[in-house]
Structure 1
């Protein structure tokens, strides 16, 4: 009898345990609560402004006068496509240049001392001071916008990639030296794979910055196919607040989508063998 109780007890304990919620539930509901609070405060503030509510239109007007408007909605979506194109081209160039820059600095201390200060300087210079010069040199069309995008998105890739390449475990490096592996073999089979987590951190940061760069370049150049920056400038000059907020919301959602997309890609590439809690 006691033997039967001992076998049945674990089954009863398992049945009595509360079911665990899916991981995405605990990830989604906190920001949704904050979002609901922001919308509530926004709505109240818009009501309190009274006649000046055009400065802060009610949240629903972003959809009625913006995204769902038969004229404004397609206009914003077309501009979104142009901004996405510029951002992805700029990000692709920044990835190639940033990783290459970091690899060159890895080869020797003198190279790092010579080149890294210029990466810091590039990060510290206000991009608005460079935008007119970029326009003079490269024109005000697509190439100029892409260059602005690259300059804004470059530094996180350089710094995070270099950090990851230099963070290789010393014992693993010594093992490659004992096997008389060449410099490029060590780079390709040890340092670059070990640097992938840091590279993806820089990539997610640069992905968001590439959106900023595409909008900034478009905002100031206003040549060729209009992007979100051109629309924001036009809406601001005409005091179309609801349409302006709609374009800002679309730009923010684009940045979030790209950030989440690269986060999922990071999990697919390094999530199976890399544990962030041990880093």
Structure 2
């Protein structure tokens, strides 16, 4: 007959191995979900980029604002409402994304938020930022639609958007993330429910360059490597199978000890 402490050790081993199986299977399923999400994002990008170009106006139906769809907009910049998005690196270099509203219809105050490009951060805080191009004439720009400004992880101590823009204390506020609702409340503008990531420079196309630094427009894309997630899932399921086999071995040996006749 098995001794009590042996039974307790066996039960503990079975419990722990069962937990390992459940955890590994859960992690494998989570990796499969991540793979499915990346596949869906890839299909969304392909669908958007294969759509015909859209010219955005104040009356553009929201259902046509498909993410990743090529689009153009014509309007006037509101440079005094420019916001800098922090911690947006480019090829390992720290910098900012420049976000400026373009008013499409002055009568209704309807605008589109445009990500104009990447601006390098000065080597030290004492150095001023490079001058951002500020054309005043009505312009037409081309770009790609996004559902929102891509977000980064944000600590509670991160700089917040001022309640009212323009802010006399900060000509170009710097924030980690920028939501359209908060930005509309601060500026008084009515934004279409999409963001336009600019891909061209109309001043260069017209044969001249506005004063200021040239903004870079190589926008990052989400990771679409679903095969990596599938590989991780296979590993977790393999660990789960090993733990399940170990559980069966421990249970089988425990049953053998129980059935073994007692000898004197």
TM-score, length-normalised on structure 2? 0.25
| Structure with greater helix share of residues | 1
- TM-score of the pair, normalised by structure 1: 0.24
| Bigger Cα Rg | 2
